[in-house]
Structure 1
Amino acid sequence: MTLRAVVKGVGHYLPERVVPNSEFEATLDTNDEWIRARSGIERRHFAAEGETTSSMASAAARAALKDAGLAASDVDAIIVATSTADLTFPSAATMVQAELGMENGFAFDIQAVCAGFIYALSTANALILAGQATRVMVIGAETFSRIMDWTDRGTCVLFGDGAGALILEAQSGAGTAQDRGILSTDLNSDGRHKDLLYVDGGVSTGTTGHLRMQGNQVFRHAVEKLASTATKAMERAGISPADVDWIVPHQANIRIIQGTAKKLDLPMEKVVVTVQDHGNTSAASIPLALSVGRARGQIKEGDVIVTEAIGGGLAWGAVVLRW
């Protein structure tokens, strides 16, 4: 018998306010055609005043619990992947724990920017395999609209807010690639590339700061690193690209998504794409896409999914799972 971390439920939350590309035309030297051509983004959601990363994470958590048919008390741990927690501390995860009325277990945040959900999913898998938890709620949630420089047309049009949640449950498997659950993970980082994508604020500056990105350089690293980590994860899982039903990538830029799929020799028909509707929601991107893909009827039980992401750090990684 082999222990596996199996998806038990999924859910997401998006703020009510939808911001089309045209809304930026009044304040920036940009237009809908320019944004679509370079990113594939058509619209994104922005959090309302008083709406926070933890409140959105809690809403996504409730949706995942409902989908799984579970109560908050049935969960042993909560991991929130975010770079935009409400406060420096305590963690957004403990705020979600309180909001859900969960008095048992433990909760903590993981910060790996856009790769955060991959890191959180890998950590949850390790907790389950180690026997430290039976059910783990993994959430990606971001309010990137609060760290944008609204004069920088190269970055502020790319990002959005939202949250997605996944519940993993320990189940027994045969130890083969036919098992449901997480089949393999691959994590990487290279701190030498810090200046390519970062926020120029924090404890050292006494300011929240704004996101800064060298988009062309990030793009140059992204396709190669994403294809490489996905390939490693597939090899570890004992599968080939032909076995993959869906790629669910970090939704940052349609050209990166297309380039990675091409490098993996997988058609776009096998890629779950939501970037046009959500923009780049950083750590929330993948769980949002998983939840939306399932709701669309694309992702079904038994499907083999490869999910990968790259973010500031640089940090990148991939997870292979059978739904």
Structure 2
Amino acid sequence: MIENIGITATGIFFPENIETAKDLELKTGIPEDVIINKFGLYQKHVSNANLHASDMAIEAARPILTKIDPLEIDVIIYFGSPFKDYDVWPCAAKIQHELGAKNAYAFELMNVSSCFPIALKVAKDMLVSDESIRNILLVGGCKESYLIDYENHRSRFMFNFADGGAAALIGRNGKNRPLGSSIITDGSFHDDVKIPAGGSVLHSSGNSIKNRLHYLDVTDPQDMKERLDLVSVPNFVKVVNKAVQKSGYKLEDIDLLLPLHTKKSMHQELLKQLGLPEEQSIYLDHYGHMSALDPCIGLHIAQLKKQLNAGDLVVAVSAGTGYTWAATAIQWG
């Protein structure tokens, strides 16, 4: 029964090293005040060379294991960045092993930055369809700060990419219930953002390294912006509205929005379209963008700030290149 399924616990982890807006000014040539006021970023966490996506995912999950025996976890789903310790490598298996969750099977759910609302839906649906599953651990890591080429003017605007880990335990506790979800994919954006080399189209080689083809690149930034500006906020509003409606609510019932980190103008326009004041959202201006982790991190921060009350309607919403927009509503308490 859906009524028995809820978010039992959350966890987050950030590496110690911090890059400020001033540090980013030196890397990008963009003035510090523009980075803060336009891009909405005061600082972000950046890992060192020895700390990887799987490690940060594991560390985010460890606090949750103080509330549950690892042997009681039945499924582990990695929903984090596809940029992991190694290419073509299942980090979910490492996470299962390191956490001692010997009874859990583990797999990975990949949809870049849109994945947390989707992972909530998948976990809820699995618990509904299989009564033998008691607890599902959603866990993700991100080290995408390492994918930015500050010498590439086409893609360096993604300097808000940061590093960290996030986790959420979904079980049969009857509280903090994931409700309706909505997902939109517009595949016309499939070729706009990618790492050019390393896949089957362009194998890794001396030339691909020399030509810096192992970083994120944008084929035509202006063309993508013109097409994306027309649909981005409208699609955010559509998925939020549909997720809320499928949950038996209206937009005006939303108490808290948990979005991914975007530039400040987009964040403010989304709130305006949804009829929400800024205090009814979590804006990660001291953390940056961490692939699919942002709404999960926002959920944890909201709990720390005591911004959640019993009966609140919370919406996790995100979007990822490709392009997919996703939202899942949560009835808190």
Q: How far 1:35 sits from its partner (Å)?
A: 1.3
Which residue does 2:51 correspond to in 1? 51
Which residue does 1:11 correspond to in 2? 11
Q: Deviations over 1:258-284 (max 9, x none)?
A: 11111111222211122x111111111
Q: TM-score, normalised by structure 2?
A: 0.88
C-alpha distance 144-189 of structure 1, shift in aligned 2 (>3 A): same
Q: Which amino acid aligns with 2:126?
A: L
3-state SS of the aligned residue for 1:138? Answer: strand
Q: Find the aligned partners of 1:87 and 1:165 in 2 and give their Cα distance.
A: 21
How many residues are treated as equivalent by the alignment?
314
* Alignment match of 1:193 (pick from 186, 189, 195): 189
Which residue does 2:210 correspond to in 1? none
Which residue does 2:160 correspond to in 1? 158
Q: How far 1:150 sits from its partner (Å)?
A: 1.9
Q: How far 1:301 sits from its partner (Å)?
A: 4.0
Ranges in structure 2 where 5+ consecutive residues have no aligned partner? 205-212
Q: Find the aligned partners of 2:265 and 2:149 in 1 and give their Cα distance.
A: 23
Q: How far 1:2 sits from its partner (Å)?
A: 4.5
Q: Find the aligned partners of 1:128 and 1:309 in 2 and give their Cα distance.
A: 23
More strand by share: 1
Would you say the 8 A contact 1:116–1:140 is kept in 2? no
C-alpha RMSD of the superposition:
1.9
Q: Which amino acid aligns with 1:158?
A: N
Q: Find the aligned partners of 2:300 and 2:121 in 1 and give their Cα distance.
A: 18
The question of 1:262 aligning with 2:272 is answered yes
Which residue does 1:206 correspond to in 2? 203
Which residue does 2:207 correspond to in 1? none
Percent identity between matched residues is 23
Would you say the 8 A contact 2:137–2:169 is kept in 1? yes
Q: Find the aligned partners of 1:97 and 1:155 in 2 and give their Cα distance.
A: 35
Which residue does 1:41 correspond to in 2? 41
Which residue does 2:74 correspond to in 1? 76
Which residue does 1:245 correspond to in 2? 255
The question of 1:61 aligning with 2:58 is answered no
Q: How far 1:322 sits from its partner (Å)?
A: 1.1
Would you say the 8 A contact 1:138–1:167 is kept in 2? yes
Q: How far 1:156 sits from its partner (Å)?
A: 4.4
Q: TM-score, normalised by structure 1?
A: 0.91
The question of 1:31 aligning with 2:55 is answered no
Ranges in structure 1 where 5+ consecutive residues have no aligned partner? 173-178
The question of 1:181 aligning with 2:177 is answered yes
* Alignment match of 1:310 (pick from 297, 319, 325): 319
Q: Find the aligned partners of 1:251 and 1:4 in 2 and give their Cα distance.
A: 31
Q: Find the aligned partners of 1:54 and 1:6 in 2 and give their Cα distance.
A: 25
Q: How far 1:4 sits from its partner (Å)?
A: 4.1
